[in-house]
Amino acid sequence: MKRILKMYYTSDTHGYLFPTDYITKSARDMGVLSCINEFEKDGNTLILDGGDTIQGSVFVKYMWENSEEGFPIAEAFNTAPYDYIALGNHDFNYDYTGLQKYLETLHAGALAANVVDKAGKLNLKPYVIHTLENGLKVGLVGIVTDYVNLWERPEHLTNLEVKDTFEAAKVTLEEIKDQCDVTVCIYHGGFEADLTTGLSLAKGKENVGYRICKELNYDVLLTAHQHMPVEGRMLHGTYTLQLPANAQKYAEVLVEVKENGELEITSTCKAPKAIEMRPKTIAEVGTHGSVQLANKWFSMQQAVEEWLDKKLGGFTEEIPDLDKLTLALEGSRLADFCNQLQLELSGADFSCISLGNNPIGFKKEVTTRDVMGAYQFPNTVKVLEVDERVLRQALERCAEYYTLEANGEVVISDCFINPKVEHYNYDFFAGLSYTFDLTKPVGERVVEILKDGQTLGDKKYTLAMSDYRATGTGGYECYQECEVVKEYDVDIQALAIEYIKKHQVVEIMAKPDFKIIITK
C-alpha cells in the first residue's frame, strides 16, 4: 500500500505577518497569514519552517520596540498549526531572552542539532521521529548555519554554543536513518555551488547545502537563508528546494513511499492569495484562524502604518532610484547620505556602506516609510582600525563587481548575481578617493588610493561600516583581522530617522570620489 507524507514549508518569513511589503502601501500576495490560510492539515501532513522568523519586517521591529503583549508571529504559527521549526541566524538577534520568549509562545517543536542550550530553557531538540496516521515514520533534523558565531553579538550567545553545521547534519543522520521511513533535514542555510555544474561559487562554509546533498543521504533537504528561489529537484539523490523571502511563497511537498520502500517526491511552490487586511465580520469571510488572528493584530498593523507615514523632514535634492550598475559606475547619493551619517556619528576617517538589492531613492519630502524602504537593514555601526593593505583588499572586492566585455561594455559580474543576487555586497566609500582600472585582471584593479590628495603610507586609519560588513561577510575577509575600536547600538535606520527629524532639511555633503578606467 502506498503511503503519502505531505509537507507545507515556509522559511525566511522575517516577521511578514500581513499581506504587505510596507513600502508600496498596497496588498500583495504574501504574508504568513495568507500562507497558512491555504494549508490543509490532516494526520499525514507536517507544517515546517526554516527559520529567520522574528526579525526583518517593519511590523516585528515595531513589535519589539513598542509592545509587550503576545507574540503575533508565533501565534500565527500556532494557528496553522506548525509542527516543527528550525532556527535561523536572525532568530538570535534579540539575545537569549528574546529567543526564549518566541519559543515559549510557539507550540511547534524547535529542532537545532548544532545548537547547545547551556541554560536549558529553550527546549531545543536535535531531531524528532514523527509517526503519521498512516504509520510512516518521519525523521526530522534541524540545523542552522554556524556563521551565527561570526555574525551574532557574543553576549547574545553566552548561553548558547553553535557547532559545525555539516558535522551535526552528518552525525544526526547516522543516528536516525535506521529508525524512520523518510529523513528530512530543515537547514537554515543555502547552496555554495552551482546546482547544475557543481562549480563552487562561494568561499567559506556559510552555506553547505550542496555538500550535504552530495556527501550525505537525506531524502529531503529543505534549505533557506539565501532568499533564492530554487524549484524542487533531485540533487545527488536528495530532493531539495528553497523559497524567496518574506512569505512570498510556500512549498507543498509530497513524498510517496511505495510498497518496496522507494520514494517518489514532488513539490510545488505557491504564492498565497492575500487575505483581507481587515474583514468586516468573521461571518463574511469564514472562521479560519488566520482571519481571526488578522483581526486581533490589526490595531498594531494600523499603528505600524501610521508610524511609517510620519513626515520627518526632507532633502535639498531628490535622490532618484537608479539601476544598480549606474550607481556603481557613477556613485549613489543615498550611499553618500548613509556614509555621512556614519562619519558624523563616529568621527572615523573613512566610511563604507552597502545598499539593498532593489533600487530605491528619496523624494525631497521624506517619511519614515521612505527611510525603511531605502535602507532596509537594521544594522548597527562599527569602526575598525585599518591600513592601506586592508583598504586595498576591500576595494579589490568592490572592483570585482564589474566585468568589462570585449566590446567595451561594462556589466555586473556574474559572481554578484549567482548563485544569488548580491548587490548588497558592493560597498560605496566616503572620505577617500580611489581609482579602478577595469582593463586589469580581478585582484589588480585598484591603481590608486588617496586621502586629501596624498597616498596613505604606513599610517593606521579608522573605517566606519555596518556590523554585518565588519564580520568580513560578503568577500571582505580582510576585515576579520582588524581591531574594533568603536561600536554603537543604534541601527542605521533609526540614525537616519533622527538625523532627518533633527535637521529637517538635509544637505548631503559627502560626494562620491572614485574613477573607473575602462579603456587602455
Residue 106 buriedness (CB in 10 A; 0-12 / 13-18 / 19+): buried
Cell numbers for 178: 535506521
Fold of 310-517: 5'-nucleotidase;  domain 2 (3.90.780)
DSSP alpha helix (H) spans, 228-363:
282-285, 289-296, 298-308, 324-330, 333-346
3-state secondary structure (DSSP) of residue 382: strand
Distance between CA atoms of residues 50 and 82, nearest Å: 11
In 3D space, the residue among 198, 202, 250 whose CA is nearest the CA of residue 224 turns out to be: 250
Residue-averaged pLDDT of the chain: 93
Q: Say what the pLDDT of residue 463 is.
A: 98
- How does residue 279 score in pLDDT terms, banded at 50, 70 and 90? low
Residue pair 168/111 in contact (Cβ under 8 Å)? The answer is: no
Distance between CA atoms of residues 73 and 297, nearest Å: 10
For 12-47, how does the pLDDT look when each residue is reduced to its tens digit (9 = 90+)?
A: 999 999 999 998 877 889 999 999 999 999 999 999
Residue entry with cell 501610521: 306
Distance between CA atoms of residues 178 and 173, nearest Å: 9
Biggest alpha carbon–alpha carbon distance for the chain = 78
What is the average pLDDT across 463-492? 95
Q: Say what the pLDDT of residue 92 is.
A: 97
Q: Say what the pLDDT of residue 286 is.
A: 47
In 3D space, the residue among 190, 255, 191 whose CA is nearest the CA of residue 6 turns out to be: 255
- Residue 399 has phi, psi (to 5 degrees) of -65, -20
For 218-236, how does the pLDDT look when each residue is reduced to its tens digit (9 = 90+)?
A: 999 999 999 999 999 999 9
Distance between CA atoms of residues 449 and 453, nearest Å: 9
- How does residue 280 score in pLDDT terms, banded at 50, 70 and 90? low
Q: Do domains 3-303 and 310-517 have the same CATH topology?
A: no
Distance between CA atoms of residues 425 and 476, nearest Å: 9
Residue 287 has pLDDT above 60, yes or no: no
Distance between CA atoms of residues 484 and 493, nearest Å: 22
Contacts of 312 (CB under 8 A, 6+ apart): 366, 367, 368, 371, 497, 500, 501
Residue 424 has pLDDT above 90, yes or no: yes
Residue 276 has pLDDT above 80, yes or no: no
Distance between CA atoms of residues 13 and 50, nearest Å: 9
Strand partners, 183: 139
Within 13 Å and on the Cβ side, how many CA atoms surround 392? 15
What is the average pLDDT across 295-316? 91
For 118-147, how does the pLDDT look when each residue is reduced to its tens digit (9 = 90+)?
A: 999 999 999 999 999 999 999 999 999 999
Residue entry with cell 487586511: 277
For 370-404, how does the pLDDT look when each residue is reduced to its tens digit (9 = 90+)?
A: 999 888 788 999 999 999 999 999 999 999 999 99
Own/partner pairs, 451-459, CB within 8 angstroms, 24+ separation? 451/349, 451/350, 455/388, 456/387, 456/388, 456/391, 456/432, 457/388, 458/387, 458/388, 459/387
Distance between CA atoms of residues 12 and 50, nearest Å: 7
Q: Where are the domains of the chain?
A: 3-303, 310-517
3-state secondary structure (DSSP) of residue 161: strand
For 82-94, how does the pLDDT look when each residue is reduced to its tens digit (9 = 90+)?
A: 999 999 999 999 9
Is the CATH number 3.40.50.720 carried by domain 3-303? no
Residue pair 273/253 in contact (Cβ under 8 Å)? The answer is: no
Residue pair 11/49 in contact (Cβ under 8 Å)? The answer is: yes
- How does residue 193 score in pLDDT terms, banded at 50, 70 and 90? very high
Residue entry with cell 556590523: 467
Helix (H) or strand (E) holding 242, with range, is: strand 238-242
Residue pair 301/307 in contact (Cβ under 8 Å)? The answer is: no
Contacts of 196 (CB under 8 A, 6+ apart): none
What is the average pLDDT across 152-180? 96
What is the average pLDDT across 451-462? 95
Residue 407 has pLDDT above 60, yes or no: yes
Q: Say what the pLDDT of residue 283 is.
A: 45
Distance between CA atoms of residues 394 and 493, nearest Å: 24
